Structure 1
Amino acid sequence: MTEWWRDAVIYQIYPRSFQDSNGDGIGDLPGITRRLDHVASLGVDAIWLSPIFTSPMKDMGYDVSDYCDIDPLFGTLADFDALVARAHDLGLKVIIDQVISHSSDKHPWFAESRQSRDNDRADWYVWADPNPDGTPPNNWPSVFGGPAWEWEPRRRQYYLHNFLIEQPDLNLWNRDVQDALLGTMRFWLDRGVDGFRLDTVNFYFHDARLRNNPPSPDHAAPDTYNYQHHVYSKNRPENIAFLKRMRKLTDDYDARMMVGEVGESGDTSIRIMAEYTAGDDRLHMCYSFEMLSHEFTARHFRHTIKGVHQGAPDAHACWSFSNHDVFRHVTRWLPHAESPEAMARQAAAMLLSFPGTICLYQGEELGQTETDLSYDELTDPPALRFWPEIKGRDGCRTPMVWDDSPHAGFSTTKPWLPVKEPQAARAVTGQQDGNDSVLSAYRATIAFRKSQMPLRVGDTAFLDLPEPILAFHRGTGDQVLTCVFNLSPNPATLTLSDKADLTGPSQAALSGRVLSLPPNGFAWLDGPVSLLA
């Protein structure tokens, strides 16, 4: 069976914001199909589509009301089939988001479940009696604020919602629920999808006894969710058996894969990645949040990759710097950069040199920055509720910028989120012919990764160098590359132990055995070279 995903570069598309084809200000499937040539021109292997299923859009599609149909905002099943066919013609795999830890409260399953305690789907969601004083059954919080329990007067019970009130948690302890969800996955496999990105994969099971979570002493975040160790509301060992059922399903098809989103950090993240990808009967890989933070140090990147390799040696990681849930990395890490463009180029070089599977977020190839939005422009529930301390996720979700026409070529009308001048200035057309553009740098770096077996599948060994230098060897057999990055807005000089040659689209100068790295410079050197700061 082809394991195409092991060294793949995946391009994440946020459908609402990629391309509007019908003038309603919202991106759609025909729009994505129209722009697939751009994606293919980058040299990536696959696209990942954020949710496109029927939804009330309380959480922008992560609240699904029909798992086997396309929301009319995005098009039709025929539009989806056309997208898959065109992607495959271009050599692109298609991965879709599966949101099965919870559904929308408008899903027919929940509409039936909430009616009474004795209907056919009464046990399809997580219901619990109140405490004697009427309060929720335990202390579990919602990720989006407040308790994770909502009262339903018809049943005189609470239901669990780890996210919005409108996103009730499915009860995967119920085998019928598991069977129904696996059936929806088979529906899309039969339509030709090549894989699934599994949203909140560590939330599938809850503690059957509904025990209280213990407190967490390290709760520096501005929300209450991190005041607890979530040992009972998620990360449950019972998850493994269901992951095995999912893997058995995908193994019925050729060359399909699953990547699970693990929204954890540190030792917990490594432990879950190890558990969820061990052997060949669970997930193919896990999508880590470790590099989606504000930390930008050589120690952090070194510690993260080494931590996974040492703590989860059988695990396969999928790394990214940006996605639809976090500030864009060019903005997050700008204090460490000479310019946004310098940060964008270095980030591409660094990420595409890491071991494992790589995920790029739309606009990243343009050096796109976070959009600064006012309160009246927001749509994201956490931002609307906790503004201004929590800015929310809208700033990274603004439309893709294609050209210098009104609305940046995304739409012929006012888009659902605004396109502002700092973002419009980075349009695709303005970077197509520029050899020094960020877009050109991404294409060159992806092509270089593809041409180098050490970067695709090689082992990784880090060099012990002081901040701000990150350096490591990537090697397979007698093919070795030395990868060097100056994580600083200041120039740096290193001395090589042996003579070597620069290779690839390096941004550095080599004179004899002296390597000069400009601000945010980087270099690939032929051979296993040692370096002295």
Structure 2
Amino acid sequence: MAAWWQGAVVYQIYPRSYLDTDGDGIGDLEGIRRKLDYVASLGVDAVWLSPIYPSPNEDYGYDVADYMDVDAAMGGMAAFDRLLEEAHARGLKVILDQVLSHTSDQHPWFVESFASKDSAKSDWYVWAKARADGTPPNNWLAAFGGASWSWSPLRQQYYFHQFLRTQPKLNFHNPDVVDAVLDVLRFWLDKGVDGFRLDVANSFVHDATLADNTAVPMEDRGFGTWAHPPRHQHHDKDWNQPENVKIMERIRSLVDSYEDRLVFGEFAGDDKILGQYAGGDDRLHTAYTFTLLEAGSLERSVFDTYYSKIAGPVEDLFPCVTFSNHDVARPVTRWAKGRDKEQVAKLGMALLMCLRGTALMYQGEELGLDDIETTREQVRDPFGKLYFPYFKGRDGCRSPMPWQPDQLFAGFSAVEPWLPLGPDHAARSVAAQQARTSSVLAFSKQVIGLRKERAALRLGDITLLETNDDVLAFTRTLDGQSIVCVFNFSDEPASVDTNQQAAPLLTLGDAEYDSGKITVGPLGVFVGT
């Protein structure tokens, strides 16, 4: 029997941008609670909440100052308890983001570690002496740019951080740290949460010898690589260590000691990374990579790579599929490129719900939202502040959720929000789309419902058919049931010979079946059995 999460639809909420109920321009847990009926109406199975813990918000929650509490700006622990209870009452699972690789520099653990080499938590973080010339101990570069090391004049040592200097790296070579992290997970499991998403899950363990990362050969560096120095090196020493597998196994064992829970991870690396850290009975239940999240255009080859080289070869893995989250440009922004945004949004949603894997969708994806543009003064993301205007950061996909077309700030807040809304987002708001049967929202509910009705779409095997790169066609099969899915990514009609009968279950745009041939119009979809 399949686990509840296999083939489920998980709806990610970025709490700061969902609904503000206390008038500070920042979303809160009470806002999410008030919209639970809306979330349930989508037909999703679970909500995944981006970090809700106390934080100085240098990286907007991904710098945790206390793992076992809820930020007062979010409403505190009482607000979370109420949210959890009411979500469960609606049949919705609740998944928490866990940022275990590093903490905020304001976390009590780091405050104590920073204070003295002789403190009880002295080696809870990664400390190292300088080289003879005073420079950092190795060549590791932080993901947001610059060296991965910052100097402490008090300890006369460098400390390691994979992101901002205010996000010091925990030392997972210390068994006390591993135990403490497991206690964090146990705390939330005891409260009744249904699972966790692990941030940068392949980065928990570093090379204990602090050896240099290997340089990327010059001939393998493109313009994009040159623009961001951390991509000049393979992160083969500061990330992706063999000991990281043991940490995943410890976490999986703990989560499995509770009934019907889930733990999945975010991974970046080579094609074989999912098999290292996820699948089977001992690693994480499932995981996702950035393969589909970073796809700049819709092409068959992207999905062939994912299923033939990344997720497919791991026999004991039920994968995740995802096109959108808080870290990447939205699908409409990446894929429309001057074409009809609503049509592209519908095509993307249908594709997400037809692919094999647990589907992770991001708030606003069901509305077909695109990224906002920000001025220098509006940028909040530290990554964007570093590279503006060449790269404006991740604020574009984090704009507030629009609820009402005729209210101030589209009903998100009574005061100016922490980030602006898009110029046409009020017109794409929930209330505006609920009034139209042809809206992206209505279509999203339809395709989510089709996925729930058809076990082959939730759980079946996937076989990609031979097509050109402008068309993706595949079958989903389970227990003798076969569903054929055809997606035309081009601006011209396309035909696919399937050699099987296919009565339509879902179509988008012009689509027809005749004698084993399916013809689909521009940006069109055919799903049939």
Partner of 2:420: 418
Measure the CA separation in 1 of the matches of 2:283 and 2:105. 29
Which residue, 509, 519, 523 being the options, matches 1:520? 523
Gaps of 5+ in 2: none
Deviation at 1:439, TM superposition (A): 0.2
- Counterpart code for 1:261: E
Structure 1 match to 2:486: 484
Partner of 1:224: 229
Q: State the alpha-carbon separation in 2 of the partners of residues 498 and 97 from structure 1.
A: 43
Counterpart in 2 of 1:238?
Answer: 243
Q: Is the Cα–Cα contact under 8 Å of residues 403 and 430 in structure 2 kept in the other structure?
A: yes
CA–CA distance in 2 between the matches of 1:90 and 1:310?
34
- 3-state SS of paired residue (1:124): coil
Provide the secondary structure at the position in 1 that maps to 2:202. Answer: helix
Task: Decide whether aligned partners of structure 1 residues 278 and 365 sit closer, same or farther in structure 2, where only a CA change above 3 A counts.
Answer: closer
Q: Does 1:314 align with 2:319?
A: no
What's the offset of the Cα at 1:504? 2.8
1:214-263 alpha-carbon deviations (Å, 9 max, x no partner): 11133332210100011000000101111111112111211001011103
CA distance in 2, matches of 1:524, 1:278: 29
- The 8 Å contact of residues 56 and 63 in structure 1, kept in 2 or not, is answered as yes
The 2-side partners of 1:64 and 1:91 are apart by 29
Which of 442, 446, 449 is residue 447 of structure 1 equivalent to?
449
Find the aligned partners of 1:56 and 1:499 in 2 and give their Cα distance: 58
Equivalent residues of 1:258, 1:283 under 8 A apart: yes
Matched, 1:140 2:104: no
Residue matched to 1:212: 212
1:328 aligns with 2:330: yes
Partner SS state of residue 442, structure 2: helix
Q: Distance in 1 between matches of 2:242 and 2:519?
A: 50
Residue 510 of structure 1 and its aligned partner are, at CA, apart by 1.9
* C-alpha contact (below 8 Å) 1:136/1:158 kept by paired residues: yes
Matches within 5 A, 1:142-161: 142-161=142-161
1:107-129 per-position Cα deviation (integer Å, ceiling 9, x unaligned)? 11101101111110001000001
Q: In the alignment, what sits opposite 2:257?
A: 252
Distance in 2 (CA, whole Å) between partners of 1:248 and 1:309 is: 22
Aligned 8 A contact 2:467 2:496 in 1 = no
State which drifts further: 271-280 or 365-374.
Answer: 271-280
Counterpart residue type for residue 484 of structure 1: V
Equivalent residue for 2:397? 396
1:261 aligns with 2:263: no
> 1:147 deviation in Å?
0.1
Q: Is the 8 A contact 2:95 2:196 kept in 1?
A: yes
Poorly superposed stretches of 4+, deviation over 4 Å: none
The question of whether the paired residues in 1 share the 8 Å contact of 2:474 and 2:486 is answered with yes
CA distance in structure 2 between the aligned counterparts of 1:287 and 1:172, rounded to whole angstroms: 22
Provide the rounded CA distance (Å) in 2 between the counterparts of 1:77 and 1:49.
14
d(CA) in 2 for partners of 1:365, 1:483: 20
**Per-residue Cα deviation, 1:468-523 (whole angstroms, up to 9, x for no partner):** 11101110121000110001122223455344311135544325335331211010
Structure 1 unaligned residues grouped into runs of 5+: 527-533
- Residue 344 of structure 1 pairs with residue 349 of structure 2: no
Q: Which amino acid aligns with 2:356?
A: P
User: Partners in 2 of 1:55 and 1:498 — Cα distance?
Assistant: 56
CA contact (8 A) 2:511 2:524 kept: no
What do residues 413-435 of structure 1 show as CA deviations (whole Å, max 9, x unaligned)? 11000123222221001110312
TM-score by length of 1: 0.95
Task: Tell me how far apart the structure 1 counterparts of residues 511 and 212 of structure 2 sit (CA, whole Å).
Answer: 58
Secondary structure of 1:286's aligned partner? strand
Selected match of 2:438 from 421, 436, 439: 436
Q: Describe the SS at the equivalent of 1:114.
A: helix
Find the aligned partners of 2:279 and 2:242 in 1 and give their Cα distance.
Answer: 13
Aligned residue type for 1:246: I
Distance 1:126 1:440 in 2: 50
Give the equivalent residue in structure 2 for 1:376: 377
CA positional deviation for 1:318: 1.2
Distance 1:299 1:354, change over 3 A: same
* Rounded Cα–Cα distance in structure 2 between residues aligned with 1:273 and 1:497: 34
Cα pair 1:302 1:470 within 8 Å, conserved: no
* 1:134-213 paired onto structure 2 within 5 Å: 134-213=134-213
Native 8 Å contact 1:2 1:255 kept in 2: no
Whole-Å separation in 2 of the counterparts to 1:430 and 1:361: 19
Instruction: Please give the per-residue CA displacement for 1:330-381, whole angstroms capped at 9, x wherever unaligned.
Output: 011113x731011000001111111110000000000001101111111111
AA aligned opposite 2:291: E
Deviates more, 1:253-262 or 1:217-226: 217-226
Q: Is the 8 A contact 1:320 1:351 kept in 2?
A: yes
The equivalent of 2:13 in structure 1 is: 13
Q: Does 1:360 align with 2:382?
A: no
Query: Cα distance, 1:52 vs. partner?
Result: 0.3
Name the SS for the 2:176 alignment partner.
helix
Out of 474, 477, 492, the position equivalent to 1:475 is 477
Give the direction of change, closer, same or farther, for the CA distance of 1:248–1:154 in structure 2 (3 Å limit): same
Q: Name the structure 2 match of 1:529.
A: none
Would you say the 8 A contact 1:7–1:357 is kept in 2? yes
Cα distance in 2 between the residues matched to 1:190 and 1:495: 53
Distance 2:349 2:2 in 1: 26
* TM-score where L is the length of structure 2: 0.96
Between stretches 311-320 and 90-99, larger displacement belongs to: 311-320
